[in-house]
């Protein structure tokens, strides 16, 4: 069965944390360097042009922190009415029961909460602010609302040793899936690489240990590699499209380079892009992406 790509909407450049590993290319600079956030009606009109051309497995609502986006409930409802499955990827600080209920009623399909360690100190140091307790509470609220809920873990030198303890922690909250992301050296992570970087060998060794723990607790680890030579894109084409807060189209949300504002792209441009990505013709697009190791690997393969 053909695996469909996903569409990641970076709804706002604002965030209430200062994570050391944040992939957003504008992190590390001043607020003057942040992309402008377009009006909700403009964003919807431009997203519709992409949705009309590509079938996505789901649409991820991200940021920045998407819970700081004023039109989050309205956008979720609009996407649901268009037949799109939506997933909220959040740090959880603002995911209280009322927000969860409103989003669920709007059709939200799932929640991914960033959980960076089995201890509060580890998580909070990486996040740049006290937020471990709020992340656990957010997971509990999402589970109580009946939403599909998973935890996301960014592997760094600071927290990797705690990964084997994570399955037991999340299992107590009723979560059965942890998405483990290999560190991608972009955004804030590029600035902090000396402190955060992990070798591929160590990453693989700790993941193997964590998988044993996961098997005992009934938790699945979904491993996302960005630096593995064996990386392959999905059968349906390049796996992660992205739209920045200023409605510019990107071939990967880890890239600072864009294809330009969606409003400047002609319909023929979008049709051609959809064709290249659906047929696996990555070589024609490799020059349109920077700071994205996985896209380069896909093009080379």
Q: pLDDT tens digit string along 146-174?
A: 999 999 999 999 999 999 999 999 999 99
pLDDT confidence of residue 28: 64
Q: How many helices (H) and strands (E) does the chain have?
A: 11, 9
pLDDT confidence of residue 206: 98
Least confident of 26-35, 59-68, 284-293: 284-293
- Tally of residues, the chain: 301
Place of tokens 């599909």: 148
- pLDDT category, 299, cuts 50, 70, 90? very low
Residue 18 near residue 127 (C-beta atoms within 8 A): yes
User: Based on C-alpha coordinates, what's the Rg of the chain?
Assistant: 18
Least confident of 39-43, 54-58, 160-164, 274-278: 274-278
For residue 92 the two structure tokens come to 């959880």
pLDDT confidence of residue 162: 98
Estimate the crossing angle of helix 97-105 against helix 72-81, to 10 degrees. Answer: 30
Q: Is the dihedral of CA 113, 114, 116, 120 positive or negative?
A: negative
Tell me the per-residue pLDDT of 203-230, one tens digit each, with 9 for 90 and over: 999 999 999 999 999 999 999 887 654 4
For the entire predicted model, the pTM comes to 0.91
Estimate the crossing angle of helix 40-51 against helix 72-81, to 10 degrees. Answer: 30
Q: Is the pLDDT of residue 3 over 90?
A: no
Residue 152 near residue 89 (C-beta atoms within 8 A): yes
- Of the chain, the percentage scoring pLDDT greater than 70 comes to 89
Q: Which of 186, 188, 300, 197 is nearest to 250 (CA)?
A: 186
pLDDT confidence of residue 218: 97
Q: Is the pLDDT of residue 68 over 70?
A: yes
pLDDT confidence of residue 274: 84
Q: Is the pLDDT of residue 39 over 70?
A: yes
Q: Are strands 240-243 and 249-250 parallel, antiparallel or unpaired?
A: antiparallel
CA angle 101, 7, 287 (to 5 degrees): 155
Residue 191 near residue 29 (C-beta atoms within 8 A): no
Q: Give the distance from CA 282 to its chain's centroid.
A: 21
pLDDT confidence of residue 279: 74
Q: Is the pLDDT of residue 144 over 60?
A: yes
DSSP bridge pairs for 220? 177
Q: Is the pLDDT of residue 34 over 50?
A: yes
- Residue 104, CA distances (Å) to 87, 107, 134 in order: 11, 5, 19
Domains of the chain in sequence order? 6-300 (3.20.20.70)
DSSP bridge pairs for 180? 153, 223
pLDDT confidence of residue 76: 98
CA distance linking residue 190 with residue 184, whole number of Å: 8
CA distance linking residue 159 with residue 183, whole number of Å: 11
Tell me the per-residue pLDDT of 241-279, one tens digit each, with 9 for 90 and over: 899 999 999 888 877 888 899 999 999 999 988 887 777
Residue 152 DSSP SS3: strand
pLDDT confidence of residue 2: 57
């Amino acid at each position: 069965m053909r695996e469909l790509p996903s569409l990641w909407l970076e709804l706002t450049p604002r965030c209430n944390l200062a994570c050391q590993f944040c992939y957003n290319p504008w992190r590390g600079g001043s607020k003057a360097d942040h992309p402008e956030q377009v009006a909700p009606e403009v964003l919807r009109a431009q997203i519709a042009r992409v949705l009309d051309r590509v079938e996505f497995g789901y649409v991820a609502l991200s940021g920045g922190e998407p819970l700081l986006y004023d039109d989050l409930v309205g956008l979720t409802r609009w996407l649901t009415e268009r037949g799109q499955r939506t997933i909220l990827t959040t740090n959880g600080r603002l995911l209280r029961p009322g927000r969860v209920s409103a989003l669920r009623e709007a059709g939200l399909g799932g929640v991914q909460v960033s959980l960076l360690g089995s201890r509060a100190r580890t998580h909070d140091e990486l996040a740049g602010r006290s937020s471990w307790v709020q992340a656990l509470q957010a997971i509990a609220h999402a589970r109580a609302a009946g939403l599909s809920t998973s935890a996301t873990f960014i592997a760094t030198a600071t927290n990797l040793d705690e990964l084997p303890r994570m399955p037991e922690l999340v299992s107590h909250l009723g979560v059965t899936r942890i998405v483990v992301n290999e560190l991608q050296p972009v955004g804030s992570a590029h600035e902090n690489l000396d402190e955060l970087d992990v070798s591929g060998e160590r990453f693989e060794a700790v993941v193997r240990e964590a998988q044993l723990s996961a098997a005992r607790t009934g938790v699945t680890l979904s491993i996302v590699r960005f630096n593995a030579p064996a990386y392959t894109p999905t059968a349906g084409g390049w796996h992660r499209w992205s739209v920045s807060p200023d409605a510019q189209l990107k071939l990967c949300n880890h890239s600072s380079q864009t294809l330009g504002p969606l409003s400047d792209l002609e319909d023929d441009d979008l049709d051609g892009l959809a064709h290249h990505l659906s047929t696996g013709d990555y070589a024609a697009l490799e020059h349109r992406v920077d700071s994205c190791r996985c896209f380069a690997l896909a093009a080379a393969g």
